[in-house]
Amino acid sequence: MKAAIVAGPNQIPVYADFKDPTPQPGQELITVAAAALSNFAKFRTSSGSVQFPIVAGVDGVGLNEKGQRLYFILPTAPFGAMAEKVLVKSENCFPLPEDLDNVTAAAIANPGMSSMAALKKRAVLQPGETVLINGATGNAGKLAVQIAKYLGAKKIIATGRDAAALRKAKDLGAEVTINLTLEPKALEEAFAEQFRGNGVDVILDYLYGPSAQILLTALAKNNQGSKPIRYVEIGAVGGPEIQLPGAILRALPIALMGSGVGSVSLKDSLAAIQDVMKAVGPAKLEIDTTVVPLADVEKTWNETSGKTRLVYVTR
């Protein structure tokens, strides 16, 4: 079969022939239709603990031997999602809604899961609460706006550096937008304005770094209530570290937590992805995608921008 083969750590996949998979009891043999490129997929190809060669890709959609259209995740090594066929444990698959197309399903799974799991499992969002999404202009952040609205958030505050993308976030359901290119004092005041009065209930942070430090400082100075605030760190695009003085924690009724591999189980991650798939139609979830033939994997592997989801199709 044809596949995107990674010969060693940090190497770009090459489209070539790879051995066909043979299913064992408890496994699904899936003919792949589409698989999206994600940071998780890239991380798997960079690990020194993996026995190479392997096929790239950690999740996708396709048909099993019974003709069922499934979403799947974590293929059985050395097989991967970016191939004509793949082996996956049966418990790592579930059927797709009939009205959901392959490309959208493949594209939306990983970024949609990040906010669905964070909001439902970690923050336990309640209808009528206010959500601030720090970093709402990438694919995952824009989906977070839509999913928060779908789950019943009363008010959504979106931050980002791209003015056009912030306008899009408003179209998708954000009531307030904050441009992170503001000078630090102006940015702190923009945050402070949202934290006064009824304030916020949940913060999803895709950025961390300097914006998170300013955000937490403003929150400590301006929070006017005693209701608990759930701060969920999801990504660190803005930087891996912040300074967090103890005074900030003493000033706030805040729970700091993360959402990702380790803090969310595979079972809960799969449940979150399934919730996202079911929500695409009712919530009219949108995600920008770029469809690429799998044969072009080598020349497109490093072309991702974060604003569109690259989806490889096998035919």
Closest CA to 195 of 258, 257, 248: 248
Residues of the chain with CATH 3.40.50.720: 110-258
Task: Provide DSSP, 203-238.
Answer: EEES-BHHHHHHHHHHHHHH----S-EEEEE---TT
Q: What pLDDT does residue 43 have?
A: 85
pLDDT value, residue 134: 98
Cα(313)–Cα(291) distance, rounded to whole angstroms?
Answer: 7
Question: Do 224 and 199 meet the contact criterion of CB atoms below 8 Å apart?
Answer: yes
Q: What is the token pair recorded at 132?
A: 């601030």
- Could you say which DSSP state residue 127 is in? T
The residue-averaged pLDDT of 101-107 equals 97
Kindly tell me if the per-residue pLDDT of 48 is higher than 70.
no
Mean pLDDT (whole number) for 1-21:
95
Residue 275 has pLDDT above 80, yes or no: yes
Average pLDDT over residues 124-137: 97
Q: Which pLDDT score, from 0 to 100, does residue 306 have?
A: 66
Q: Point out the least confidently predicted range of 201-210, 276-285, 300-309.
A: 300-309
Contact (Cβ atoms closer than 8 angstroms) between residue 160 and residue 179:
yes
Which residue intervals of the chain bear CATH 3.90.180.10?
Answer: 2-96+286-313
- The percentage of the chain sitting over the pLDDT mark of 70, rounded to a whole number, equals 98
CATH 3.90.180.10 fits 2-96+286-313, yes or no: yes
User: Is the pTM of the predicted complex or chain greater than 0.85?
Assistant: yes
- Check: CB of residue 80 under 8 Å from CB of residue 57: yes
- A 10 A CB-CB count for 231 gives 23
- pLDDT band of residue 305 (cuts 50, 70, 90) is low
Tell me the mean pLDDT in the region 154-158: 98
pLDDT of amino acid 308: 87
Annotation: CATH topology of 110-258: Rossmann fold (3.40.50)
Q: Please, are residues 5 and 298 in contact by the beta-carbon 8 Å criterion?
A: no
Q: What was the pLDDT predicted at 224?
A: 82
Residue 50 and residue 2 in contact, taking contact as beta carbons nearer than 8 Å: no
Apex 129 CA angle, 112 and 198, nearest 5: 135
Is pLDDT larger for residue 306 or for residue 128? Answer: 128
**pLDDT given for residue 315 in this prediction:** 80
Which of 244-258, 262-276, 291-305 is predicted least confidently?
A: 291-305
Q: pLDDT value at position 183? A: 97
Per-residue confidence (pLDDT) for residue 50, from 0 to 100? 79
Question: Six-digit token pair at 159?
Answer: 């931050």
- Rg value, the chain, Cα: 20
Mean per-residue pLDDT of the chain:
95
Residue in 170, 173, 224 with CA at minimum distance from that of residue 199: 224
